[in-house]
Amino acid sequence: MESYIMELFKDEVTECIVVGIGNPLLDISVMVDHDYLKKYDLKPNDAIMAEAKHLPLYKEIVEKFSPDYVAGGSVQNTTRVAQWILKKPNVCSYFGCVGNDEFAKILKDKAESDGVNVLYQVTTEKPTGTCAVLLTDGGNNRSLCANLAAAQLFTEDHIHKPECQAVIEKAKLIYSSGFFLAVSPEAMMTLAKHANEKNQMFALNVSAPFVMEFYKKQLEDVLPYVDILFGNQLEAEAFAKFFNLKATSIQEIALEIAKYPKVNKSRARVVVITRGSEPVILVNECKIEEIPVTPLKQEQIVDTNGAGDAFTGGFISQVVRGRPLKECVQCAIYAASHIIQNSGCSFRGPSEFKLAES
């Protein structure tokens, strides 16, 4: 895969080289204790879709705490981070559905100010989606509870609009998340097949354990088109459980995922598994490499929300520069480390990533 990446991205980074599709959400972030999580049947380091029992949560955290409002949505965060590192506007384009409201304007302004080319589908049927971000243990753990609202109403016809088709044709890498399988698996499959036909790369973040449990069929359908798959240890273990893998160690699980059937057999799937402060597992050409992470001191950690999104943004920013995969992981670690030291997926000054500048 590495030689393919270097060939595909041998030229200068251009506008619209990356297309992301996902659920744009406004994060409502608060610090709580474990009893508060139990009240709403939430877990410390998990991500779920809101059920009826969770709906009072959104009003309550606004009234009871002093929340931070942060532009969110996993894929949108990833495109913002990639833009931050690349320092060139409109390298990334982004599709997702929002309401016709003030929250949508906040999201669009934030993404565009970070350099993302935003192509929202707008609905009047529901408000812009929100995500309750409940931080515990001094920000070390985050529980995400997403009320998709308008984001749930994305329809495949949006990607066939001329302005969207124009950026899809320019793209060399298309990226989405497992969360989006709950919204429009049809749109994801269309883009995945397009990427395969046009010799573009298709990358996917599995996003959360519930994706494997409740959207296994949709994930099974798209997986043969996935060139790069991202996940964390909990997600990889959930994949092993629900896909009945024989592997038990996280390294063996990553290797089995890499070997999962693929439409384009000429390039092996790359699998990247994060494990907090433990080394990142990189599987390339069915070889396992562990890349160390420099742990942060406890007092440096502000908020782990967005760390995974930042990791993938950092990784993708170097893929489109045609860099070796180990360097992609090192940039991913840098990006995640930076985001963890800030509230939400936000930046403190310009990117200072310097490795292998060329």
Domain spanning 2-25+72-127+148-340: which superfamily? Ribokinase (3.40.1190.20)
- Residue 355 has what pLDDT? 62
Angle at 319 between CA 324 and CA 306, to 5 degrees: 115
In angstroms, the Cα distances linking 217 to 51, 182, 220, 223, 243 are 21, 11, 5, 10, 10
Q: What are the mean pLDDT values of the chain's consecutive 10-residue runs (358 residues total)?
A: 89 94 93 95 90 93 88 92 95 98 90 95 96 88 92 98 98 97 97 97 96 96 98 96 95 97 95 95 96 88 80 97 96 92 75 67
Task: Give the total residue count for the chain.
Answer: 358
* 309 belongs to the catalytic site: yes
Residues 324, 346: Cα–Cα separation, whole Å: 27
Q: Do 139 and 304 meet the contact criterion of CB atoms below 8 Å apart? A: yes
What pLDDT digit, counting tens, does each position of 58-105 carry?
989 989 998 888 878 999 999 999 999 999 999 999 999 999 998 899
Candidate list 114, 227, 303, 309, residue with the active-site label: 309
Residue holding tokens 């297309």? Answer: 19
Tell me the β-bridge partners of 121. 97
Q: Classify residue 197 by burial, with Cβ atoms within 10 Å: 0-12, 13-18, 19+.
A: exposed
Count of other CB atoms within 10 angstroms of residue 297: 6
In angstroms, the Cα distances linking 32 to 29, 49, 73, 182, 237 are 10, 19, 21, 28, 27
Q: Do 167 and 71 meet the contact criterion of CB atoms below 8 Å apart? A: no
**Closest by CA position to 70, among listed 107, 98, 121, 118:** 107
Radius of gyration of the CA atoms of the chain, in A: 19
Count of other CB atoms within 10 angstroms of residue 249: 10
Residues 25, 82: Cα–Cα separation, whole Å: 18
Residues 172, 199: Cα–Cα separation, whole Å: 8
Count of other CB atoms within 10 angstroms of residue 224: 15
Domain ranges of the chain: 2-25+72-127+148-340
In angstroms, the Cα distances linking 88 to 15, 102, 300, 316 are 8, 27, 29, 14
- Residue 231 has what pLDDT? 97
Residues 6+ positions from 61 with CB-CB distance below 8 Å: 28, 30, 32, 67, 132, 134
- Residue 31 has what pLDDT? 92
Residues 81, 85: Cα–Cα separation, whole Å: 6
**Closest by CA position to 285, among listed 312, 308, 302, 266:** 266
- Residue 339 has what pLDDT? 86
Q: Do 18 and 121 meet the contact criterion of CB atoms below 8 Å apart? A: no
